[in-house]
Every structure is written in structure tokens, then in C-alpha cells.
Amino acid sequence: MRILIVEDEKALANNLKRGFSEEGYSVDVAYDGEEGGFMAETEPYDLIILDIMLPKVDGFTILKNIRKQGIKVPVLMLTAKDAVSNKIKGLDTGADDYVIKPFDFDELLARVRALLRRKGEVKSAVIGIDDLEIDTAGHQVKRGGKDIKLSAKQYALLEYLAYNKGKVITRIDISEHIYDYDFDLDSNIIDVYINLLRNKIDKGFENKLIHTVRGAGYILKE
Amino acid sequence: MIMFRSIKTRLLLWLLSAFAVIMISLGLFLYNRLDTIVMEMVDQVLLGKADLIKGLVHSDHGEIEFEMYHVTIGDYSITASGHYFEVADTKGNSLVKSISLGEHTLNGSRYPKNIRYFMGTGPYQEPLRLFIEEFQVLGETYVIYVGEDIKKELALLKAFRIFLLTIFPVAILIVAIISMIVIQVSLSPLASFSRQIGLITEKRLHERVDSQGVDSELKYLASSFNETMNRLEKAFQAQRDFLSDASHELRTPTAVIKSTADVTLRRERSGVEYREALGTVKDAAERMGGLIDRLLKLSRLDAEQSEKKERVNLKNVLKTALKTITPLAEAQEIDMYTERAEDVTVEGDKDQLAELFLSLLDNSIKYNRPKGSVSLYLARFDNWAVIKVADTGIGITPEALGKIFDRFYREDTSRGEIPGTGLGLPIAKGIAESHGGRVEVESRVGEGSTFTVYLPLTTSS
């Protein structure tokens, strides 16, 4: 899952980047409204965390612009403005959630997960496919009741496939949503990760869950 | 004397005392008049009778004779009838007297001879009005006494006195009741006015009293009350905005501290990472501390006039401020030059004035272009000390020019790029104003800004 953080307070932005990265998200950061707006309009993010008071272009304007272009990415506004009128304005402009500084990081993570789930069919924190269980809150994966240990990137890949279960995911989708701005697209690396994941998820099971769609990409289904 | 603090009581007391004074004066006057009229009537009768009796004294062949029989009948013939007369010679020998006197005489030491009308007690202890006159017949001097009992007349006067004393408290009571009603009615607009005012609370500060619907006497009160309320409401709003802005500014460093702790504590970290996290927390805490200091300073400047009054040589203050800021200027290769620095002394708080100068110098460097310059000017002009700080910096847009002294206002372009709290200029303005002065600013985008401080000179300098 790829997240954009637009926040001018550098220390705060860096904390968020670190926290989300450690949770397996790929994170891009913009420190002002101009850069943030550009990135939000050109890159396919799964979620945007947006401050309101920003240099150059404010958060409301960025939000208005991306919604005008039909980009439906979930937007979570993160702001020090606690007036109810600001909350209403944010939600009416097209924000999906509104968190006031200072916030609890675990709560922010939970809200981000909830917004990511809302996009697809998934409704609860635990995604189940056949006998595979993915707990998106605790990052725990089980198959047939047995724990499976995954690296952060492997988990991120599995989670992305799980959020989009039953849908074909191209290599480009994966590179755009699992890796951040600095990643150089090399589909071989993705194939390597998919194979590693297959070894852990499907190896020794009769029913394979990760399927290759020839010429298109991969799909996670029963 | 709390009861005298009431307009109603005071009005009533004034009215009643005025009425009492009028009533008493009128009563005294009327009683006096009546007394005079009654006594004049009695005296008229006495004089008439005296003339009649005098006429009865006549000479017959060189002898004085009295023909008293005409008047001895009637009232004068009945003992103690209250009507008396007597004629005596100057030696005090009674020559003739009315039968009504009986054994008594009017011609005695009891009655003086030199007063025409005398009030005294009669021979039978009745109140007596006496007419006494010397008269001459054929060269002989005689004294005539005519007396009348004035019991009836005194009774009349007494009745009138009692009437006055009875009617007085009744009249006062009636006047008091009427006054109270009148006062109540005429003060009722005040009561409804104060009810309207009473409805205004700090939660309903926008409410006003109706200054058009009130009586003309209250219009001025109502409109000046409303003006005061306008000012109060504005001040309240400013305080509310300030509080919300302040909490907003404090939230960001709090969020930095909280998120640093949250993220760091999620797993075991290396010493380097902990040190890094603590460094971030320290920076944020320092920023918060600085912000709180400035907020306190502002609220103190709001609350009171500068209390410390000492003679401050602005040239020295400027020199010290310049020394403090020099490292910052050198780091950005900004040339600080003093155009003019006169010896100017004002009265005030030295520390605050130093901070005012530092704040302006700090801005002139922060918002300057690299290798720019700042020129300083300190001189006396009329009754003012004038301090100018001119930079060659980025300038301020005309839209922003009106807002730079607002609390927490920061121009968008500077937000995130140049560190600051948005409180420096408001504090500078607050210091200048607490010294009875002001700060003005001129600016052109791309060319630079000039801040001018005016401080009133001490009267002695």
C-alpha cells in the first residue's frame, strides 16, 4: 500500500514516514502544498495524509483539485485546526477522515487501515481467503491455523493482493503501490517476491491461492 | 446609609422636605394673618369703646364730670362679664370704673401705662386685651383703660392651629403616596432597561439594548452602553481567536513529540535511534517553551502598561542589540550599517526596548536576501524618538502588510521556510504601544521593508 504524506512540519512528516514504512507501507513525503498537490495528481496512491496549513498551496485546495480530476483516493486530513467548522469543511470538500494533532499513532494506523479496507470488498481487519487468514492490524498471517512468518515487504505484497482479492493485479500496479517514488521498475524483482511469497503461502497446500495470469499479472483467489 | 443610595428614596425625601417646608411656611403665614386680623378687630372695638367713654368725660362749670350711666347698663353692669373700663388720674386714683370690675381695678401695677394695646390676664383670670391711653380734658390728664375678654378669639385661633396641625401630616402622607406612584412610573423605563442589560451574558455578547425604543433621556445611556458592548465583544472575540490560534500553534510541536514517542516505542531501537528521537523531542520541546514564553509576554503586554520606568539611552540599547545579532548577520553575509545614531533618551523598560530592537533586527536579517544589507537610523524628531530598520529583503505584499502585526500571522511564502512563531511583530508592537509609541511599516515586494518605531521622548530630554 502506497501512502503520500503532505506535511510541512518536517519532524512530524519524518516520524510518520518512519512509522508507516515500518508497518510495510511505502511512503512518499511532500513538505509543501505545491509539491504535494503535484504528487497527489500524478502518482497512484492508495491513501493521502494531508495537512491543511501548508506553504504555497493549502490542503483544502489540493483536495479540491484532486477530487475535481476524479481521483478517488482516500484522503485523511491531519491538522492542528480543531474548529468544528474546519472539520465540516474538510469532510465536505471530499476528505474521508479527519484527525487532529496531536494524535495517537496506533489510532492513525487503524484509521488508515479502515480507509484502505473501505476501497474494496473487505470490511474487517482480518481478511480471509479459503483457509488463509491475514490480520491487517497485527500483521499476522496464518494458513490452516499455522503461523506464517513474512518479511515486511512480503507482507505488504500479500496484503495488497488480499485487499484486491479476486482482481488481476499487474506488475505495474505492484510496483506503484508497494514501492515508493524512488523505486526503479524492474519486474524481475516483483517476480522474485511473488515466488518467495508462493513458497510461504502455497507450498505444501493442495489449493493454490496465488495464480499467475499470463501476460497480465497475478491474482489472489480461492 | 444604604437607603440614600436609592434614587427613589432620594427623590421622595427631596419632594417631601420641599413640600413640608412649603406647608410649614404657609401654615405659619396663615396663622399669623388670622392672628393679626382677629386682634385688629378686637382693637377696633376697644378703640371705639374708648372713644365713646372718653366722650362721656366732660366739664361742667369748671368741674370734671362723668356721665357713665349710658354705658353702665348692658355688659358693663354685669360682674365678670368680660367687658371692662376704668378712668384714672395720673396719680393712679381710680375716678370711675365699670360695675363689671367689681372689687378689682385695671388701674394698677399689673398693667403698664405706656403701651396702647396690652395682652394680659383679666381680673377674673380671663385672657384680656387691654387698651390704655392718656387723654386730656380741660388741661387735666387722665388715663383710660378699656378691656375685653378675648377667650372666644383665642379659641378660634386655637381651632385653626389644631386644624393646621391635623391637615399637615395628612397632606404629607397624600403627597408621599402620590410621589411614590409618580416616581415608580417615571423610573419604570430604567427598570426595563436594566432588565434588558441583565439578559446580556458572556455567552450572549452580541445582544444589544434597543436604543431607539427607549425614552429620549435614556437614549444616550443606551447608545453609549451599546458602544461599550461593541468594544467588549471585539476584545472578547480577539481573546478567543488568540486562544484558538495559540492552541493551534502548540498542537504542532505536541504532535511531533507524541508521534516521535509513539513511533520509537513501537519496537526495540538502537542507541543511535533513541538519541535521534530524543533530539527531535528536545527540539520540539524547546520550540514549545519559546512559544509559551512569547505567549506569556504578549498576555502581560496586553494586561498592563509598562511598569518599569527608567531613563533608557536608546543608542546604547541599539548598540547592544546590534552586537547580539551580528553573528546571525555574518552567517548570511548581510551588511549592517548605522546611518545615524543620536543620543536619544526615553523613559521605559530597558529589557523590553532591547527586545523590540532585536525583534526588528532579527526580521530584517531573516527576511533579507543573501548578501543584502540593513540600515539603521536613530534620531529625535519633534517629540519622538524615531528608530528605522530598513532591509533589502523579499518585501511584504500589500495584502499581507495589514496583517503582519496580527498574532500568529505568517506570510504563506515564509511558512515552513523561515523559522518563526508569528509572534515577534505583535510583541514588538505591544512593547511600542505600552511605551506610548507605535510601529509603522513600508514595503515593496522584491526591494525590501522599512520598519519605523516612534517612542515618545521623556519630557526632561
Q: Could you tell me which residues are beta bridge partners of residue A67?
A: none
CB B72 within 8 A of CB B98: yes
At B178, the pLDDT band (50, 70, 90 cuts) reads very high
CA nearest A19 in B: which residue? Answer: B263
Q: Distance from A64 to chain B by nearest Cα, in Å? A: 19
Q: Per residue in B94-114, pLDDT tens?
A: 888 888 888 888 877 666 766
pLDDT grade for A75, boundaries at 50, 70 and 90:
very high
Taking CB atoms and an 8 Å limit, are A102 and B244 in contact across chains? no
The residue ranking higher by pLDDT, A24 or B280, is B280
Q: What is the pLDDT of residue A40?
A: 93
CB contact under 8 A, A31 and B416: yes
Which of B347, B314, B353 has the alpha carbon at shortest distance from B460?
A: B347
Test B247 with A81 for CB contact under 8 angstroms: no
Give the residue-averaged pLDDT of A1-30.
92
The predicted pLDDT at position B24 comes to 92
The chain B residue lying nearest A10, using CA atoms, is B416
Spatial contact of B134 and B125, defined as CB atoms under 8 Å apart:
no
- Does A55 sit within 8 Å of B413, measured CB to CB? yes
- At B261 the pLDDT is 94
Lowest mean pLDDT among B118-122, B293-297, B446-450: B118-122
> Is the pLDDT assigned to residue B262 strictly greater than 50?
yes
Look at residue B82 in the predicted model and tell me its pLDDT. 87
Instruction: Return the higher-pLDDT residue of B20 and B412.
Output: B20
**Considering CB atoms only, which of A22, A80, A102 is closest to B266?**
A22
Asked if A199 contacts A157 with a C-beta cutoff of 8 angstroms, the reply is no
Q: Which of A6, A12, A77 to mutate: most B Cβ within 10 Å?
A: A12
* Chain B residues with at least one Cβ partner in A under 8 Å: 244, 247-249, 251-252, 254-260, 262-263, 266-267, 280, 283-284, 412-413, 415-417
The span from the CA of A61 to the CA of A89, in Å, is: 11
Cα B21 from Cα B27, distance rounded (Å):
10
Considering the entire predicted model, what is its pTM? 0.61
ipTM: 0.75
Digit-coded pLDDT (tens) for B354-395: 989 999 998 899 888 888 899 999 999 888 999 999 999 888
Judged by average pLDDT, the poorest of A13-27, A65-79, A172-186, B229-243 is A172-186
- Residue B349 binned pLDDT confidence (cut-offs 50, 70, 90): confident
Centroid of chain to Cα B196: 23
Q: Nearest residue of A to residue B282 by CA position?
A: A11
Place B414 in a pLDDT band, splitting at 50, 70 and 90: low
Give residue B461's pLDDT.
40
pLDDT score, position B460: 47
Contact B257 A102 (CB under 8 A): yes
A26-57 confidence digits (pLDDT tens): 899 999 999 999 999 998 899 999 998 888 88
Residues in A lying within 8 Å of B, measured between beta carbons: 8-9, 11-12, 15-16, 18-19, 22, 31-32, 53-56, 80-83, 100-106
pLDDT at B161: 93
Q: Do A15 and B248 touch (CB under 8 A)?
A: no
**Given this model, what pLDDT does residue B109 score?**
62
